């Protein structure tokens, strides 16, 4: 029987609870959002004692289902003031699932920096004052040396310790690369609880329990086979997410110069194609890499310098778009070093990239200067005023510098897709309970759906609504987004995914399973936000997206407010 693990940091106590009926058959985002909406007062201080930090493997964690083990991290966000879930690849979710843990609810706060170690024998509290101010890379090396190879580490860097609103929660992959639950400043919530790291060791764990193992195995095999026939998989396996740079640039939606242009003249130099060619000449680089066991796509990479020393793994599209084109930085090594610095400090490359571009518009550093950008982000780790400004994200930066064009919704920066061209994504940015978040429902054109026009000014809300409930369900199952995309074009595969989930939970298969799950997640998130004081007036893109024509297309975001407001009316 799965258990809920509650850790009280104020008293250094823990207990395993039977899963209450309210949380039964939930996982991932579904569980984190349910716990937060039930147990955290919506008006609580996100960095105060009343907020809780929830870690939850998805429903399919550690099963034979493909790409099955994202770890959801949830709480009230210090960046947006909304409910927040951010998820990450890595090994922690599988280990927690094998330990029989449905989720960890972290409550209270320690008086001194601490770590917790979770094993089959329970939880131990480990003093961590000696690790104060330590970056994620050194921390991971030290913990691995001390606790062995069978652990996964969930940790924060100096960004989280300093309560910066762009702080991330890092999760190690099976080979101890850094993956991130990046968005919404949940690293600062972890820092506010003085929790430096959670070490998960599944040595000797009993393993997962499922309702019907044979059915699960069969459905997982059918699902994997189907996913791998989708044409997108070939591209992802070769170029990874950086393949999107030239695609989105070609569509005129690549954020450039703080979202003032949709195409970047240096796009080729930060593209997946360029990366593959230049990295092929460097020792130890890897064009493909898996962030979790059971991944059948391997979209990630290992990016190295000329001597074969790893700079970062992986260098992904969102970083290339927000740190690269949006800041007009076309030197790929500069982007990679900034990514490494953000990983070490525990900061969101997307929020930081957006903040740097706003700072460039504010005139405190030149456009395209990767070295200056690096130096400014470094200041975040030192806690200077300018560094704290960047580490608190694009709204803090715009407000401090008097910049009016701030690309955000509910305080969170947009992703690397301009909403004037991708208007369904724009509706998602506007209405997602998470603030501007592409993973909540990114409406990209697809050859498999030629009738969808992403630039049309009507018909976008239903597209966004469908994607938002679909991805809320996917985030609850713990499946990686890339493994879920083929199902949008090949709906026949949905039955295999539903069969996987119901074979785990024992629920009766129901063709509406994903929709019911996704809508129920969105409803609890919306309820929390409404009780926190958010209204439809907060579901708006910044005015400049509706007024400024985006070169070269000349498009504006012109989906009516009336239509936007229908998106999440379930």
Binding site for ligand SF4 (CB under 6 A): 67, 89, 290-292, 295, 297-300, 480, 482
Q: Are 223 and 68 in contact (CB under 8 A)?
A: no
Most distant pair of Cα atoms in the chain: their distance: 62
Question: Considering only CA atoms, which of 340, 334, 344, 409 is closest in space to residue 365?
Answer: 334
Write out the E strands in 279-322: 286-289, 300-304, 310-312
| Residue with smaller CB distance to ligand SF4, 143 or 480 | 480
Spell out the residues 6+ positions from residue 278 whose beta carbon is closer than 8 angstroms to its own.
332
| Residue with smaller CB distance to ligand SF4, 56 or 295 | 295
Length of the chain (residues): 570
Give the per-residue SS3 of 37-97.
HHHCCCCCCCCCCCCCEEEEECCCCCCCCCCCCCEEEEEECCCCCCEEEEEECCCHHHHHH
CA distance 559 to 565: 10
C-alpha separations of 455 from 360, 418, 422, 423, 427 in Å:
29, 11, 6, 6, 12
Q: Are 27 and 208 in contact (CB under 8 A)?
A: no
DSSP 243: G
| Residue with smaller CB distance to ligand SF4, 3 or 237 | 237
CA distance 64 to 77: 33
Q: How far is the CB of 482 from ligand SF4 (least distance, A)?
A: 4
| Residue with smaller CB distance to ligand SF4, 175 or 265 | 175
Q: How far is the CB of 176 from ligand SF4 (least distance, A)?
A: 15
Rg of the Cα atoms in the chain: 22
CA distance 529 to 524: 9
CA distance 238 to 271: 13
Q: How far is the CB of 316 from ligand SF4 (least distance, A)?
A: 9
Whose tokens are 């099955």? That residue is 68
CA distance 510 to 516: 10
Q: How far is the CB of 291 from ligand SF4 (least distance, A)?
A: 3
Half-sphere exposure of 34 (CA within 13 A, CB side): 24
Q: How far is the CB of 304 from ligand SF4 (least distance, A)?
A: 18
Angle at 537 between CA 475 and CA 443, to 5 degrees: 40
| Residue with smaller CB distance to ligand SF4, 304 or 392 | 304
Dihedral, CA atoms, 99, 102, 103, 104, nearest 10 degrees?
Answer: -40
Question: Considering only CA atoms, which of 31, 19, 203 is closest in space to residue 119?
Answer: 203
| Residue with smaller CB distance to ligand SF4, 302 or 532 | 302
| Residue with smaller CB distance to ligand SF4, 292 or 465 | 292
| Residue with smaller CB distance to ligand SF4, 88 or 431 | 88
Q: How far is the CB of 366 from ligand SF4 (least distance, A)?
A: 34
Q: How far is the CB of 293 from ligand SF4 (least distance, A)?
A: 9
Q: Return left, alpha or beta for 240; rule: phi > 0 is left, psi -120 to 50 is alpha, else beta.
A: left
| Residue with smaller CB distance to ligand SF4, 44 or 481 | 481
The sign one gets for the Cα dihedral 383, 386, 391, 395 is positive
| Residue with smaller CB distance to ligand SF4, 46 or 61 | 61
Q: How far is the CB of 183 from ligand SF4 (least distance, A)?
A: 15
| Residue with smaller CB distance to ligand SF4, 68 or 392 | 68
Q: How far is the CB of 305 from ligand SF4 (least distance, A)?
A: 22
Q: How far is the CB of 66 from ligand SF4 (least distance, A)?
A: 8
| Residue with smaller CB distance to ligand SF4, 480 or 568 | 480
Q: How far is the CB of 328 from ligand SF4 (least distance, A)?
A: 27
CA distance 234 to 218: 24
CA distance 525 to 85: 10
| Residue with smaller CB distance to ligand SF4, 36 or 96 | 96
Q: How far is the CB of 68 from ligand SF4 (least distance, A)?
A: 9
CA distance 165 to 184: 7
C-alpha separations of 414 from 55, 331, 351, 355, 383 in Å:
24, 22, 8, 11, 25
Question: Considering only CA atoms, which of 394, 259, 279, 403 is closest in space to residue 325?
Answer: 259
| Residue with smaller CB distance to ligand SF4, 388 or 415 | 415
Q: How far is the CB of 479 from ligand SF4 (least distance, A)?
A: 9
Q: How far is the CB of 239 from ligand SF4 (least distance, A)?
A: 12
What phi, psi does 448 have (nearest 5°)? -75, -10
Q: How far is the CB of 89 from ligand SF4 (least distance, A)?
A: 4
| Residue with smaller CB distance to ligand SF4, 297 or 390 | 297
């Amino acid at each position: 029987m799965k258990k809920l693990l509650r850790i009280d940091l104020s008293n250094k106590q823990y207990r395993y609870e039977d899963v209450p009926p309210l949380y039964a058959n939930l996982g991932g985002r579904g569980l984190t959002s349910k716990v937060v909406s039930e147990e955290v007062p919506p008006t609580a201080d996100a960095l105060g004692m009343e907020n809780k930090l929830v870690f939850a493997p998805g429903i399919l964690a550690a099963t034979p289902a493909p790409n099955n083990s994202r770890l959801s991290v949830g709480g009230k966000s210090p960046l947006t003031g909304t409910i927040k879930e951010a998820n990450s690849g890595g090994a922690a979710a599988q280990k927690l699932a094998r330990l029989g843990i449905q989720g960890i609810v972290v409550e209270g706060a320690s008086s001194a920096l601490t770590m917790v170690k979770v094993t089959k024998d329970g939880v131990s509290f480990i003093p961590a004052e000696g690790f104060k101010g330590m970056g994620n890379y050194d921390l991971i090396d030290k913990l691995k040396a001390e606790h062995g190879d069978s652990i996964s580490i969930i940790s924060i860097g100096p960004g989280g310790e300093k309560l910066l609103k762009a702080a991330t929660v890092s999760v190690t992959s099976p080979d101890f690369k850094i993956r991130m639950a990046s968005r919404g400043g949940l690293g600062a919530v972890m820092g506010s609880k003085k929790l430096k790291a959670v070490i998960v060791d599944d040595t000797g764990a009993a393993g997962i329990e499922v309702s019907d193992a044979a059915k699960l195995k069969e459905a997982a095999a059918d699902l994997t086979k189907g996913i791998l026939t989708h044409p997108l998989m070939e591209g992802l396996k070769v170029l990874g997410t950086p393949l999107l740079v030239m695609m989105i640039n070609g569509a005129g939606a690549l954020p450039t110069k703080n979202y003032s242009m949709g195409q970047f003249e240096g796009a080729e130099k930060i593209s997946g194609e360029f990366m593959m060619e230049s990295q092929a000449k460097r020792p130890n680089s890897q064009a493909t890499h898996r962030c979790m066991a059971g991944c059948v796509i391997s979209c990630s990479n290992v990016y190295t310098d000329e001597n074969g020393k790893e700079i970062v793994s992986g260098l992904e599209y969102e970083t290339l778009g927000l740190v690269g084109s949006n800041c007009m930085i076309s030197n790929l090594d500069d982007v990679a070093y900034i990514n490494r610095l953000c990983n070490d400090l525990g900061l969101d490359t997307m929020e930081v990239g957006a903040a740097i571009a706003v700072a460039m518009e504010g005139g405190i550093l030149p456009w395209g200067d990767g070295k200056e950008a690096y130096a400014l982000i470094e200041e975040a780790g030192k806690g200077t005023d300018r560094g704290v400004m960047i580490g608190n994200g694009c709204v803090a930066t715009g407000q401090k510098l008097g910049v009016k064009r701030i690309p955000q919704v509910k305080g969170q920066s947009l992703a690397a897709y301009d909403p004037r061209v991708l208007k369904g994504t724009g509706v998602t940015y506007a209405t997602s309970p998470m603030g501007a978040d592409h993973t909540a429902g990114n409406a990209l054109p697809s050859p498999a759906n030629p009738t969808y026009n992403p630039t049309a000014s009507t018909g976008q809300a239903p597209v966004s609504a469908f994607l938002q409930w679909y991805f809320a369900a996917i985030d609850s199952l713990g499946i990686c987004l890339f493994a879920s995309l083929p199902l949008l074009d090949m709906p026949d595969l949905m039955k295999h995914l539903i069969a996987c989930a119901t074979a785990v939970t024992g629920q009766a298969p129901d063709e509406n399973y994903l929709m019911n799950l996704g809508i129920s997640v969105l409803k609890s998130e919306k309820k929390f936000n409404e009780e926190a004081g958010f209204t439809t007036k907060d579901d708006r893109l910044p005015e400049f997206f509706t007024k400024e024509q985006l070169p070269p297309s000349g498009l504006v975001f012109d989906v009516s407010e009336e239509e936007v407001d229908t998106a999440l009316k379930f």
